[in-house]
Every structure is written in structure tokens, then in C-alpha cells.
Amino acid sequence: MPLLAATFIEKEVRVANHKIAVIRGDGIGVDVVEEGIKVLKAGAKKYGYTMEFTEFPWSTDYYFKHGEMMPKDGVDTLRKFDAIFLGAVGHPKVQDHVTLNGLLLPIRRSFDQYVCERPSVLYPGVKSPLAGKKPWDIDLVVVRENTEGEYANVGGFQYRGQPEEVAVQTSVFTRRGCERVITYAFELARKRNKKKHLTSITKSNAQGYGMVLWDRTFQAVAEKYPDIQTQSLLVDRACMDFIRRPEQFDVVVASNLFGDILTDIGAVITGSLGLASSANLDPSRRFPSMFEPTHGSAPDIAGKGIANPMAQILTAALMLRNLSEEKAAQAVEASVQKVLYEGKVISPDLGGTARTSEVGDAIVGALGAPAR
Ligand code: NAD
Ligand code: IPM
Ligand code: MN
């Protein structure tokens, strides 16, 4: 059967070629993406697949030149890629709602990236600001709803600039939106197979419509997962528990805004925002997912060459996992952990003196990729 034979051979020899759209963005995004690509290239060499990087200069500098953060057909251009690798967006000279609503947020919404997955892990070699925490004591993942809720971009101004000016900002919670992100979180708790525990976080004592719908949906979905223990917390109490007993959390599911806030707490209790990876996922895989760390463009250290690239590099590992390069993903994570544990090449946010590029080089070194 020649046809079958041909199919077989094709399967055997085909090497995945991942097409990656790269948007470095602003501030430290430019530097940390450089290190992310360095590690991705080394990983590709070692694990035998190829990656094709296409750079887009979309950023606030682009906005200064063109009056927009990305071209009108920017989203369409990105559609054909396997994944988007992004640094950070935000510039002190332009209001954030302009830059973020011109680039990052429309991509999340247009590509229906309804899950934002953000792990917080206390790695060996890293000191938590919380007393008495040992490596791995903190090992949680926040699943943040990423396309609606408080970020729905519904509202407006009236009587703009007048004393009687009114601003309306509406949260939008849909049953389908709640159900799909909560289901994702339950599946993740099952797949992680750690504490098999899921915490849902709302503020339904004060937000009596949208978040009540969320709570009801959580209870309904929970019935399908009897193997997963659950709890529902109010967000104020949850902030407290993230600090006083973060080890109790396994998977956490939260609305867009609460997930945003909780993940900065998750980052700092595990050492630094410079370690906090993040993935904006379209689990249906209709569209490319986008991989950008939790942190922003950090204008206070931009251009100094001292940003920690580990968050971006761990984000690259999440991208590799999403592209089914599991071995490479694990190797990148292990290399970051090795560099942290050895404690020789550590950036200033973690108490060291290493520069951004030195940390990237050390991680490439730990990966043990062939030189050519
Ligand atoms: P930020 O995350 O940029 O910085 C917060 C603090 O953490 C700063 O002191 C910064 O120096 C430090 N930090 C962050 N990342 C670091 C790293 N990799 N290494 C070492 N230190 C690091 O938050 P911010 O200052 O509130 O925001 C700055 C800009 O970034 C704003 O314009 C904001 O809107 C934007 N922002 C963008 C994203 C994104 O693009 N995904 C995320 C958050 C904030
Ligand atoms: C994040 C950021 C963004 C968010 C901002 C920059 C719009 O803080 O990715 O955590 O709130 O989603
Ligand atoms: Mn944030």
C-alpha cells in the first residue's frame, strides 16, 4: 500500500516548525524577550524542532510614530501564527488605558483567550518574604478569567470634562463565560493531581449579580467533579490567606480583576515578579494563544539591563508545553531552577548582581544545548 507507507514515512520524519509572532513591546519587555528567544532557540536545537520567529515592532514607540499601537489589521496578521510571545506594554508618557486597549487587551479578547494561567511556585534557592516558608511550600496556579468580567470594556463618559461628568464602567459576567473558565480550573486541579483542591474567589457579598452568577455556576460545575475538594472565598479574605497560609492553595479560579491582583501577590510571596510566568490561552485552539509574563514594562528599571528574564523564560516554557514540546518545556523549567538553586547568577530583584543577559546565558548553559 504505497499511500500508507508514504503517510508513515512522513510522520516519522516531519519536524515540527513552530511559527511564533514576537511582540517585545515596551520597557523591560524588549530585554527579557531577547533572553526568552535565546533560550527558545537553544531548546529547539537540543530537542530537534524548529522555531520561526517573526518580530512585530508594535509598542508605544510604534504609537509615537504611527498614532496607533498596532496596525488596523494587526489581529488578522497574528491569526496565522502558532503562538504569540509578548514582553510587556506600558509607557510612562502615555496613559495606560490607551496603550493596553490598543494592543494587549484586544488580542486577549479577539482570540478568545479566556483562560489566563499563572503559576506561583517557591523554588529552592529563592527566599520568600514570608517567614518560615520552605521550597515548594507555595505551589499554586491561579486561573484568571481573561475576556469578560471587570475587563469587559463596556461603559462610557457623559458630560466629559464638565463638573457633572459621569463615568460608567460595567462588569459583564455570562453563564457561558463563567462555566468554561471554571471547568478549565477543575480539569487543571484533576490533571495536576496534587491537593486536588480548587478555590473559587469572588466578592458576591457586595457584587450581587455577576458574582452571584459566578458562585452559582461554580456550585453547578463542582457537581461534575466529586474528586476535587472545593472552597469559595471572598477576595478580601483570599488576599489575607495568600499571605498567611498560601500553602493551602492548589488551583484558584477568579474573575479577571481579582485574578490580576492575586497574581501579583502570588508573585511577590514566591520571591519576585521577575519569576512570575503567565499564559493567555484559547483552550479551544481556534486561535493562537499568547504568552507574556505577569509583570509589566517596569519603567523604574527599563534600559538598565537588570530586569530578571526568568519570568519571560518560564513563560516560554509554558508556550513550549502548549505547542506540545513537553520535554523542552520541562528542560527549560529545570534549567531556571538549577540557576536559582546554584545562586551564582541572580538578578538584583532576587538579591544578586547579575545582568539580564547573564541570567539568560546561565539558563542556556544549564540547558546544555549543543553550541551549533
Ligand atoms: P510592573 O510589573 O511593570 O513593575 C512592578 C515592580 O516590579 C517594579 O518595581 C519593577 O521594577 C518590578 N519588576 C517587574 N518585573 C520585573 C522583572 N522582570 N525583574 C525585576 N523587577 C521587576 O508594574 P507597574 O510598575 O505597575 O506597571 C508598569 C507599566 O507596565 C504600566 O504601564 C502598566 O500598565 C504596565 N503593565 C503591563 C503588563 C503587561 O503588558 N502584561 C502587566 C503589568 C503592567
Ligand atoms: C497583567 C496586567 C494587565 C492586566 C494590564 C496591563 C492591563 O496587569 O497582565 O497582569 O490587568 O491584565
Ligand atoms: Mn497585572
Catalytic residue status for 159: yes
Q: Is 105 inside any structural domain? A: yes
Nearest listed ligand to the Cα of residue 150: 2
Per residue in 72-106, pLDDT (tens digit) is 999 999 999 999 999 999 999 999 999 999 999 99
Region 44-51: mean pLDDT is 94
With a 6 A CB cut-off, is 278 part of the ligand 1 pocket? no
The whole-number pLDDT of residue 168 equals 98
The last residue of one of the domains, among 202, 236, 269, is 269
- Please tell me whether residues 40 and 94 are part of one structural domain: yes
For residue 167, the cross-strand partners are 157
- Please tell me whether residues 263 and 288 are part of one structural domain: no
Per residue in 108-153, pLDDT (tens digit) is 999 999 999 999 999 999 999 999 999 999 999 999 999 999 999 9
- Please tell me whether residues 259 and 291 are part of one structural domain: no
Q: Note down the domain range covering 207.
A: 139-269
- Please tell me whether residues 179 and 89 are part of one structural domain: no
Q: Are 292 and 87 in contact (CB under 8 A)?
A: yes
Catalytic residue status for 260: yes
Catalytic residue status for 264: yes
Ligand 2 atom closest to Cα of 96? Answer: 6
Catalytic residue status for 209: no
- Please tell me whether residues 151 and 264 are part of one structural domain: yes
Res 10 pLDDT > 90: no
Q: Are 79 and 288 in contact (CB under 8 A)?
A: yes
Q: Probe ligand 1: pick from 273, 306, 350, 355, max atoms within 8 Å of CB? A: 273
Higher pLDDT, 353 or 14: 353
Q: Are 232 and 180 in contact (CB under 8 A)?
A: no
Lining ligand 2 with CB less than 6 A are 100, 260, 294, 296
Domain count, the chain: 2
Q: How does 24-58 read in b/e, with b if 16+ C-beta sit within 10 Å? A: bbbbbbbbbbbbbbbbbebbbbbbebebeeeebeb
Residue 29: give its domain's CATH number.
3.40.718.10
Q: Is 4 inside any structural domain? A: no
CA distance 372 to 209: 58
Output the CA 178–ligand 1 centroid distance in Å.
28
Per residue in 17-38, pLDDT (tens digit) is 999 999 999 999 999 999 999 9
Catalytic option among 49, 123, 184, 203: 203
Nearest CA residue ID for atom 12, ligand 2: 260
Per residue in 212-270, pLDDT (tens digit) is 999 999 999 999 999 999 999 999 999 999 999 999 999 999 999 999 999 999 999 99
The whole-number pLDDT of residue 15 equals 75
The last residue of one of the domains, among 236, 269, 302, is 269
With a 6 A CB cut-off, is 90 part of the ligand 1 pocket? yes
Catalytic residue status for 151: no
CA distance 371 to 363: 14
Q: Are 32 and 97 in contact (CB under 8 A)?
A: no
pLDDT confidence bin for 368, thresholds 50/70/90: confident
The whole-number pLDDT of residue 13 equals 55
> If you average pLDDT over every residue of the chain, what do you get?
95
- Please tell me whether residues 103 and 73 are part of one structural domain: yes
Output the CA 371–ligand 1 centroid distance in Å.
33
Which helix (H) or strand (E) covers residue 7, if one does? helix 2-13
Res 4 pLDDT > 70: no
Output the CA 101–ligand 3 centroid distance in Å.
14
Output the CA 282–ligand 3 centroid distance in Å.
19
- Please tell me whether residues 148 and 264 are part of one structural domain: yes
Dihedral angle of Cα 193, 194, 195, 197, to the nearest 10 degrees = -50
- Please tell me whether residues 47 and 70 are part of one structural domain: yes
Catalytic option among 159, 209, 304, 327: 159
% residues pLDDT > 90 (the chain): 94
- Please tell me whether residues 110 and 158 are part of one structural domain: no
Per residue in 280-339, pLDDT (tens digit) is 999 999 999 999 999 999 999 999 999 999 999 999 999 999 999 999 999 999 999 999
The last residue of one of the domains, among 269, 297, 328, is 269
Which burial class, exposed, middle or buried, applies to 223 when counting CB atoms under 10 A from its CB (0-12, 13-18, 19+)?
exposed
